[in-house]
Structures are given as structure tokens and as C-alpha cells.
Amino acid sequence: MEVAIIGAGNVGQALARGCGRAGHAVTIATDHPEDAARIASDLGVAAASMPAAVAVADVIILAVPFDALSALAADLGNALDGKVLIDVTNRFDPLQLDGPSNAELIQTMTPAATIVKAFNTIFASHQDDPRIDDIPLDGFVAGADGPAKQRVLELVGSLGFRPIDAGPLAMARALEGMALLNISLNHVNGWPWRTGWKLLGPTGPAGTDAAK
């Protein structure tokens, strides 16, 4: 799969490592091409301008702060039309948990693209190595479009997560709430930012082996 990662911070780098290890063709793009080239070289992946990275991508991971996305969408314009955009952003103020999710707001910024929420419930510390005590963390995916969401579920699974279809894009509100709870717990308790979500119990249809 051709994966473009916009942004090269902790999240962008972790997902680049994970996607590269899983055998995907990864291209990093940032506002600063020299930084993208240096980081990509360190990670063993490609670097390109944003338009070039977007043009060839099967999926585009938006690994930049939410506040930067409006300008990014305006700069790229119709280059994003028809593309699958993975939103990994979160909200950090509990008072902002009501109303549309970041993912839904990004969909309004890029109406001709398809937004899928994924990777936001996992800290960068586990995005390239999603196991704790040899147990795969859950990778929750929310989105309205069936084929696009299926592509992202496959990407999530290829990185080693247990992929879980969380429902339509509106469920990104719940996923952003889960992320905020994890962030808050680590901040308040002084934890080492390595906790992750795992849904326990039967997850297959009743009466099947998976449900036992």
C-alpha cells in the first residue's frame, strides 16, 4: 500500500516506522522539505513534497496538529479529492468533547475526500509496536465509506493491531473521548505514556468459536 504521512513529529515517525516494517511504501512530507528528507533517511522511507506524496498515495495519514489542517486543506486543494485521509488528531480540553469530532470537522474542510478516524487512541510509544505484555492493542477505526474504511482496517491490522470497526465517522467523537481519558490518566498520575486500549471478552458472533 502507498502510504503518505503528512507530518514528521513523534506520531508521524512512529507510524512511518510501523508502516515501513509492515511492508508498505511510505513517503513523508512536511512544510520543511529538508527536515522531511533527513527524517525519512533516518527511518529508511521516502520523502517528497506534499503534492507529490498525496498524488501517489492510497491512504494519507494526517499526523499534524488539528489547528494546522485548515491551512493544509486549503494549500492542497483538489489534490485531496477522492483520497482516503486518516485523521489521528485529538482534542485535549474536556470541555470540548461535545459537538462534532475533529474527524467530522476535517470532512467539512475536504468534502471531496473520505475521512477515516484511526490510530488516535494509541500513544506514539506503541504506534509502531502495538503490543503490551505480548497482547496486541486494539486499533479502532471509524468512517462512513465502506471501501475506504476497509482499506484502513487492513492497514491497521498490518501494523500488528487488532483492527476493530468502530462504526460511522460520528463514532470518532467516542474515540477522541477515549484518547482524552488515556491522556488525562497519564498526565494526572505520572504514568509513562505507554498505556493502550484493549477490549476484552468475546468479539465474534454468538455461537462461533470466536465468541468462546
- SS3 of 135-166: the string is EECEEEEEECCHHHHHHHHHHHHHCCCEEEEE
CA distances from 109 to 67, 72, 77, 156, 167 (A): 12, 10, 10, 24, 21
Q: How many CB atoms are located within 10 Å of the residue 96 CB?
A: 11
Buried/exposed code over 126-156 (b: 16+ C-beta within 10 A; e: otherwise): bbbebeeeeebbbbbbbbbeeebbebbbebb
Residue 59 banded pLDDT, cuts 50, 70, 90: very high
pLDDT of residue 210: 52
Look up the CATH number of domain 2-211: 3.40.50.720
Per domain, the residue ranges of the chain are 2-211
Residue 62 grid cell: 494526517
- Is residue 29 within a helix (H) or strand (E), and if so which, with residue range? strand 25-29
pLDDT of residue 204: 79
- Is residue 60 within a helix (H) or strand (E), and if so which, with residue range? strand 59-62
Residue 41 grid cell: 533517511
* Per-residue model confidence as pLDDT tens digits over 146-200: 999 999 999 999 999 999 999 999 999 999 999 999 999 999 999 999 999 999 9
The average confidence (pLDDT) of the chain is: 94
Arithmetic mean of pLDDT, 90-110: 90
Quick check: helix, strand or coil at residue 7? coil
Residue 92 banded pLDDT, cuts 50, 70, 90: confident
pLDDT of residue 208: 60
Is residue 74 packed enough to be buried (19+ CB in 10 Å), middle (13-18) or exposed (0-12)?
Answer: exposed
Q: Rounded to an integer, what distance in angstroms lies between the CA atom of residue 179 and that of residue 174?
A: 9
pLDDT of residue 212: 40
Q: Rounded to an integer, what distance in angstroms lies between the CA atom of residue 65 and that of residue 96?
A: 16
* Per-residue model confidence as pLDDT tens digits over 28-44: 999 999 999 999 999 99
Residue 211 banded pLDDT, cuts 50, 70, 90: very low
* Per-residue model confidence as pLDDT tens digits over 120-153: 999 999 999 999 999 999 999 999 979 999 999 9
pLDDT of residue 97: 77
Strands 138-143, 114-117: pairing kind: antiparallel
Q: How far is C-alpha 27 from the chain's CA centre?
A: 15
